A and B are shown apart, each in its own frame.
Chain A
Amino acid sequence: SQQGEEDPQALSIQEGENATMNCSYKTSINNLQWYRQNSGRGLVHLILIRSNEREKHSGRLRVTLDTSKKSSSLLITASRAADTASYFCATGRDDKIIFGKGTRLHILP
């Protein structure tokens, strides 16, 4: 059952630029997480934001959450080649987590 939906599906930017990905969801949530997946590998947890939080930072990552619009954004500042990956949002409600289909980010040299 699909909950979070990332936008855009794919994004290519120049190294050094900022990358923004969005996630929209349909029902109320307790928290929202972002994960990264490098090609052919497992997912790695990046950051979690709770439903009572509006913004959270971790290094070059900034996540916002707007529960009234049922949306979240992930901003990666000063992108690097190593940021090339797929990024997934995962919405949490009770003890369940549902993953979106992901945004493929490609950092151009």
Chain B
Amino acid sequence: DVKVTQSSRYLVKRTGEKVFLECVQDMDHENMFWYRQDPGLGLRLIYFSYDVKMKEKGDIPEGYSVSREKKERFSLILESASTNQTSMYLCASRRDSFRETQYFGPGTRLLVL
């Protein structure tokens, strides 16, 4: 079974803090994704990576950056957290761009005060 883990289930941070969300997958997948999920808006793609050290912007990259130094790990960084970044953050991986199925982590619920 593919396993995607996220470093925290719940996180509370203050406005202006730098926040790191970590995601690790154990199946040697090439592609990794970060989404945020908000009520009424569904899943929105923040950033994705098709390979190590590669990254591409998704639909809502503003206020975020990412890092993929190792194949199994994809980090989402909130440079200066703001209250409108309070959300559920979901990480996903996929074997490669020729496979369609994405495997999701359990999510991190972030509250920015």
Residues of A bordering B, CB below 8 Å: 1-2, 30-31, 33, 35, 40-45, 48, 88, 90, 92, 95, 97, 99-102
Q: Which of B14-22, B62-70, B71-79, B104-112 contacts A (4 or more CB under 8 A)?
A: B104-112
Q: Is the pair A40, B101 in contact by a Cβ cutoff of 8 Å?
A: no
18 A-B residue pairings within 8 Å (CB atoms)? A2-B42, A30-B100, A31-B100, A33-B100, A33-B101, A40-B109, A41-B107, A42-B90, A42-B104, A42-B105, A42-B107, A43-B43, A43-B92, A45-B102, A48-B101, A88-B42, A99-B42, A102-B42
A42 interface neighbour in B4, B59, B98, B100, Cβ under 8 Å:
B4
Q: Establish whether residues B100 and A92, one from each chain, have CB atoms under 8 Å apart when the complex forms.
A: yes
B104 touching A44 by the CB < 8 A rule? yes
